[in-house]
């Protein structure tokens, strides 16, 4: 379970980036966060595992023993401990490209083993087996020994999911995990993430309402740093317009003012 309450973050000039964001995600839920660019989706997500400290508010997560932690208030050491059980998938598959696929999966456990053992790359056979199992779950166990940099985007994102699975997380966060992928790879990734939500809460930021409608159990829409919608993943056109409307409007306005259009107009008049 993860509970977000009253997240607020402002720029020094007073502009509010996050304005009283609050929601609660239980296990069994796959929540997709939607919203126009710059609305504060990724910012919210970064607060969930402490990559960003909000000005106020709290993010309560439960660790594997059921103990509750407030990510916004704990110190560095405790944060590192809590993070061991939070799986994170990033937009651009930011893996260590020169390490093997298996080693990248192993990185998922770094927080859970001693520094001395880890810097000698001293993983046990049991850990290697579990890492392979995680790779099997995302169907790329046969690539375990390949250099990660040689994989395609979709394959790298699967490695990132395997790494998260290998963490045996109590919470999974995904920041635009399918934005850089083609539609079929995007579907594969969504199909791999979806079943994970049966055991743990999953929160992801997405740009594709049709994908969240299909795979998520719930959608939260954020606009201007506020939650403007929280509920059924299938959104009506009117609702979509409400969420993305202003962005579309700005785009149209921009096109209207674009100099290229003005020149076309002149040519037409001539």
Of the candidate residues 112, 168, 185, 217, the single one contacting other proteins (CB under 8 A): 112
95 lies in the binding site for other proteins (CB under 8 A): yes
- Cα(182)–Cα(264) distance, integer angstroms: 34
* Structure tokens, 194: 């979806």
Alpha helix stretches (DSSP H) within the chain: 41-48, 76-83, 101-106, 115-119, 125-137, 153-166, 183-193, 209-215, 237-257, 259-269
CB of 63 to other proteins, least distance (A): 11
97 lies in the binding site for other proteins (CB under 8 A): yes
82 lies in the binding site for other proteins (CB under 8 A): yes
- Piece of the chain touching other proteins by CB under 8 A; list 15-23, 111-119, 125-133, 200-208: 111-119
CB atoms within 10 A of CB 73: 12
CB of 79 to other proteins, least distance (A): 8
234 lies in the binding site for other proteins (CB under 8 A): no
> Who contacts 33 (Cβ-Cβ below 8 Å, separation ≥6)?
41, 44, 45, 203, 204, 205, 206, 219, 220, 221, 222
Q: What angle do the packed helices 125-137 and 153-166 form, to 10 degrees?
A: 130
CA 231 remoteness from chain centre: 19
* Structure tokens, 187: 């579907």
267 lies in the binding site for other proteins (CB under 8 A): no
* Structure tokens, 206: 């997405």
Binding mask 29-68 for other proteins (x = CB under 8 A): --------------------x-x-----------------
CB of 173 to other proteins, least distance (A): 8
153 lies in the binding site for other proteins (CB under 8 A): no
73 lies in the binding site for other proteins (CB under 8 A): no
Of the pair 160, 216, the CB lying nearest other proteins is at 160
Q: What is the DSSP string of 23-48?
A: EEE-TT-EEEEE--TTSSHHHHHHHH
- Cα(121)–Cα(267) distance, integer angstroms: 68
245 lies in the binding site for other proteins (CB under 8 A): no
Of the pair 119, 269, the CB lying nearest other proteins is at 119
Footprint of other proteins on 131-150 (CB under 8 A): 149
CB of 179 to other proteins, least distance (A): 13
Of the pair 174, 219, the CB lying nearest other proteins is at 174
Residues that bind other proteins (CB under 8 A): 49, 51, 80-84, 86-88, 90, 92, 94-99, 103, 107-112, 115, 118-119, 121, 149, 160, 163, 167
């Amino acid at each position: 379970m993860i509970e977000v309450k009253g997240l607020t973050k402002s720029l020094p000039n007073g502009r509010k980036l996050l304005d009283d964001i609050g929601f609660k995600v239980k296990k069994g839920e796959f929540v997709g966060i939607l919203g126009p660019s710059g609305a504060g989706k990724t910012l919210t997500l970064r607060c969930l595992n402490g990559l960003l400290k909000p000005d106020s508010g709290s993010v309560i997560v439960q660790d594997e023993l059921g103990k509750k932690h407030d990510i916004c208030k704990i110190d560095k050491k405790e944060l590192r401990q809590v993070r061991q059980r939070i799986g994170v998938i990033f937009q651009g598959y930011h893996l260590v490209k020169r390490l093997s696929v298996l080693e990248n999966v192993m990185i998922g456990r770094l927080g859970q083993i001693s520094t001395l053992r880890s810097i000698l790359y001293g993983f046990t056979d049991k850990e290697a087996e579990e890492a392979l199992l995680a790779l099997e779950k995302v169907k790329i166990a046969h690539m375990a020994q390949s250099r990660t940099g040689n994989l395609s985007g979709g394959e790298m994102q699967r490695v990132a999911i395997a790494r998260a699975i290998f963490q045996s997380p109590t919470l999974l966060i995904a920041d635009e995990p399918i934005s850089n992928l083609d539609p079929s790879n995007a579907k594969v990734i969504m199909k791999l993430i979806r079943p994970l939500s049966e055991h743990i809460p999953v929160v992801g930021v997405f740009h594709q309402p049709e994908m969240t409608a299909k795979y998520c159990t719930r959608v939260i829409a954020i606009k201007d740093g506020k939650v403007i919608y929280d509920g059924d993943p299938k959104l009506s056109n009117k609702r979509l317009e409400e969420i993305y409307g202003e962005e579309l409007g700005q785009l149209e306005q921009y096109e209207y003012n674009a100099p290229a259009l003005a020149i076309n107009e002149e040519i037409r008049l001539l």
